[in-house]
Structure 1
């Protein structure tokens, strides 16, 4: 179908290659990497402000009548937390899980800028961005995003580049967590209620079981890239616990395997692994000021990778366009080349 062709091939295949390449081209040195992260942080702040605006008003700015009709449909009432009148906020991503995935991964960019920044006024701006993004993530009530976010924080502590920074941020993180629990007890309670709700984890597991059955039936070439193709072909393999039809398995890795085959999944994992290895090499060869920025990009990549176990993160047309240039920017060989030239 036209929609499937327009959403998969330009974004997840050709778009991923172009955005990764673009990320490598625009980050020739530390200053350009810093500027790129600042621009993405600005975008994140604007979307976070809109998310908070929607949480208060219930309105999506610039929304068309089609979006309003979609949000009023009965089959998307899971955006409302069961037994409450609280709605999870999706903002321009529509789906709160996608919105949460965006804020979970992008949080680490201003965090890296905060650590590497040298001026007090810059650190204050980055701190404001961090608070705003964290609040926006809170109102998505996305369990998968929060789990991935916490794992990403652990990764960032490893790659922060200084033991002093690790201890300091660990203490700050514990204090901030206690502060959030104290200031937002209702939101925390709603998050726990949503995470433990009926059909939350069980439906995800059922969707994965269905996808594994599809992969077993079509191991080499899959059923075809596209939501409609998966929706049609997966129905006969649907396990009883998956009580609704799904157009994708809510798992990017199973999505590649079921739709395109196991060889494509292996190629996809190899590409990410190679890029992360190059990023790690850049981190090893960089100085103390550049390491937090590269570490932030690595943490953002790991965060989306973990989150993609429960949603179609890597295979979402918007999220993939955000993460691939970030990964390309920290994997760029020019980062270490520029440092070598400056030293010689």
Structure 2
């Protein structure tokens, strides 16, 4: 099969011919249909987060089950599935207390460099990326890394819910638990930010303020549910948000860019008792600074991993939201590309030209 391989950070991906093993116990072989280009991939490709190399990146994907290993009970060949990097064991303390996204079962959620699922004609080991590696024509994964979906759900759009959509939507609904009528600000209107905006609209937020420097993305945000727009090029975004809320601030702020300054701004635009949720991947080692006195008004800051998802419940619900016209996935896709065009796709992402590019496999 063909796969995009990352040999060195800050170097282009290289299309290589590799092979994947047959499914072992509880493993599933998937024919990849679509893979989304995500900023999280870019963070690893640029060395902002460490991962053993060489590796096949990619983690936002959909496909069709081709083969199943012994003991697999959840899927069978022909099933349509969405992958999720938050594979769960189902037996650790985190799983059994309702937080499978934080699973600690390393027999299922394999640590970096542990998986041996690929073969190629080179001496070095080809590493699987966060238990998925979806920039390849096939994926071999644990059955607890996939969720079955309805076959009438378009697979090109289904791929998006595997990371970007569940991360943004879940941060609003699962992590922050936004209630009807509450005010929300979302900093960053890329794919995950758009999902947070759409998720806030589904949750019934009364005021949804979209913050971004790209006027095109801001206009799209209004279609997805934003009631107010803030462009930091027009001045301090914290001041703009407070001005739009009568000087009070918002009850929920979501930082989706993964930067020190925007994390601090998210906290700064909170009303008393408000909560800032950090969704973006702030580079490894970066620290954020907050004014201690602001905590006296019971302002809070928290993280959100993959939208605190329970993905076998959440993803089918997101499919239903799309099919019922509540989740506007069609508006996410900016470009459809081939695997051979992957480096150009990431260049366009860095330049802010796309909300989401997707690779369509034959």
Q: TM-score range by the shorter chain?
A: under 0.3
Q: By percentage of residues, which structure has more strand? A: 2
Q: TM-score, normalised by structure 1?
A: 0.27
Q: TM-score, normalised by structure 2?
A: 0.26
Which one scores higher on RCO, CA 8 angstroms, separation ≥ 6? 1
Q: By percentage of residues, which structure has more helix? A: 1
